[in-house]
Chains A and B, each alone.
Chain A
Amino acid sequence: MGLYTVKRLVAIVITLFMIITLTFFLMHSIPGGPFTGEKNVPEVVMKALNEKYHLDDPLWKQYVDYLKSVAQFDLGPSFKYEGMTVNELIKAGLPVSAKVGLFSIILILLVGIPIGIFAALYQNKWPDTLAMLLATLGVTIPSFVVGTILLYVFSLKLGWTPAYGIDQWQGYILPVVALSGYSLSFISRLTRSSMIEVFQQDYMRTARGKGLRTSKIIVKHGLRNGLIPVVTVVGPLIAAMLTGSFVIEKIFALPGIGRHFVQSITNRDYTTIMGITIFYAVILVVIIFIVDLIYGLIDPRIKLNKGTK
């Protein structure tokens, strides 16, 4: 376990280093500097700007400097938001994005998994068919379509929820539902198929044979085994929620990181694009690492230090 953790940590550092390098050189391969788009910038001002942001340094020096500052968790200044650093942008957006994300995860776990169990119990009967039909729709319909339709129906037509902003708690409902739609459907489909498999196992028959309560059989024997495959998809789901947050925060005008990211793309704010990408990469890499460790803990059959081959 110890050796495995160390190995994984080294791999994480290498991965992050590669991603930083890749984004850095991608962003610096854009023709023209970040200020070339500005109208009528006098030569002197341009020179001063370049000097201020060290843009006249040779590329390798900029790269080394950037690596150094990223290692100290400093993602540099934003080129378009005056006087703001990327760190400050992230700090401002994180509470909003994290809250919406957290509520979505809670919704996914509290609704998605029970739906899956329910469908598995009524396999091939109408509750199952209905649940799986909805889940298939949820997986296939893009989040931005779900978001806009929810916005139209519940905010504009029915007026039940505010159309934008999160000053009231009701403002969270639609973004959270829209953001979790895909993952919720995905989780419930996965839970269903893995529970169906578990129900056919011998130990389930044994548990029933010795007269345990149905609820206990489902929760203690069924769920514990049935949820193991679900844990593995946490990484991809978090990734789906990150990219989903770009459009959801745009549609519902939430001041989160995703919206800053989309805005920095439209503004061609290269340092912010770079910084937020790296921030996302760090979050994802860390989450996937934690999930892998947890996976080993909940399923003792998997030996982490024995290589993956």
Chain B
Amino acid sequence: MAKDSIENAMSQKRPVIDPSLWNQLLEIEKDEKSLSHISLTYSQDVWRRLRSNKGALFGLIIIIALILFALIGPLLTNHSYDDGTLTLSNIPPRYEIYKVNNEYFYLHKNLKLYLTEEDGSIIKMLEKDSEDLFKKQLIYAVGNGNLIIDYSTKNILTLIDENGTTFESYKNVANKTNLLGTDHLGRDLLTRIMYGARVSLLVAVVAALVNFVIGMMYGGIAGYFGGKVDNIMMRIVDIISIIPLTLYVILIMVVLNSGLLSIIIALGSVYWVDMARVVRGQMLSLKEEEFVYAAKTIGTKPLKIITTHLLPNAMGAIIVTLTMLIPSAIFTEAFMSFIGLGVTAPMASWGTLCNEALESIRSFSYQLFFPSIAICITMIAFNLMGDGLRDALDPKLRK
């Protein structure tokens, strides 16, 4: 078994050529135009390679969908991210309803009874009329009879009528009021996830900008001037990057207190080091090219050489590094929020949503799943996109 596979891995199969291909072409079949190659510009070439990569295309579509979700989504919901109805707290996206005298009821795990429509939208929470602590029953006066929630058996709630007959659940319906349910304060989870997407994308944009500005200039200057300047600048980068960047972000966040602005400052102050390294490496090889000497000869200033001659030539490597750094910045923000250092209270971020949901994971696990899925999809999309871009921009790197 292993032997075959090693043979396979070591030798490439020879392609089989169809014998009919050796036949001479007829005169009309000789279409010279179709044989000549249409010349493509660099960006067209990149786009062509990117388009043929299914994973990258999938990532790209998800990212565009995510941007639309974050930008347009909040305009379409009639819920706000920071204001909830406490009576509607912890309502899952799907639930069982009971049918009693042509009225529909939803029995919530937390001993609450809701009046609903048949399609699942909640009309209101009912107030209990009395409670029988001895029998462990809650009594609701509905119409001309009583509905009773029986909680005498551990972990099992039943809805019974006055005569003690148990109601069977009528059907399982989707929550029409809050599509993904509500959190512990009755806020709409879908809306909060939309705002969380805004935070994540904002962090992504900021990380990209910081990398572009600081990372590129830092690496560009170090690489171009070389010698002592390079030595000192890169030693600083070495010292910064020896302990995990997350640790710096934590320290800076502790100093600045939590908040969206602090996250952005914290990410901005250290997240450029990898980019600086990459750009420096590119500079070292590019600065020996003839066009740089030509620019120097006509007296171009060093800064101008870096920005107009060198950096555009290193753009491929820069974009590749960028697409790798963006997901890691999004991850860091979620991570910070998860350990309680992220955005402040009413604001929602995927990390804080996961953190809040962790406390009630036993009863209301849906609160954890939706933000987690959002994080996973985003991370996977950015990574697929990044991998695809790397292959498209630099086919030599492809394995």
Contact = CB atoms under 8 A, between A and B. Distances in A.
A136 B358 contact: no
Given A156-B365, A243-B246, 7 more contacts: A18-B239, A136-B383, A140-B380, A148-B372, A218-B6, A266-B340, A273-B254
A288 B239 CA distance: 13
Interface in B238-259: 238-239, 242-244, 246-247, 250-252, 254-255
A268 B254 contact: yes
A1 B239 CA distance: 22
Interface residues of A, number: 58
Contact of A277 (B239, B247, B340): B247
Contacts of B338: 144, 247
Nearest to A193: B399
Contact of A243 (B5, B247, B252, B380): B247
7 contacts: A144-B354, A152-B361, A156-B362, A199-B6, A204-B10, A214-B2, A265-B340
Interface in A199-222: 199-200, 204-205, 208, 214-215, 217-218
Contacts of B6: 121, 199, 208, 214, 217-218
A149 interface: yes
Given A205-B10, A218-B6, A247-B338, A30 B242 contact: no
Interface in B1-15: 2-3, 5-6, 8-10
A151 interface: yes
A186 interface: no
Nearest to A139: B383
A151 B368 CA distance: 12
Interface in A1-42: 14-15, 18-19, 23, 26-27, 29-30
B56 to A, nearest CB: 13
A18 B5 CA distance: 52
Contacts of A122: 5
Interface in A245-286: 246-247, 250-251, 262, 265-266, 268, 270, 273, 277, 280-281, 284-285
A246 B361 CA distance: 19
A214 B3 CA distance: 6
B375 interface: yes
Interface string A116-160: 000011110100000000001101111011001101100010000
B383 A148 contact: no
Interface stretch (B81-89, B210-218, B314-322, B327-335): B327-335
A272 to B, nearest CB: 11
B339 interface: yes
Contacts of A26: 251-252, 254-255
Nearest to A18: B239
Nearest to B376: A141
Contacts of A199: 6, 9-10
A284 B242 contact: yes
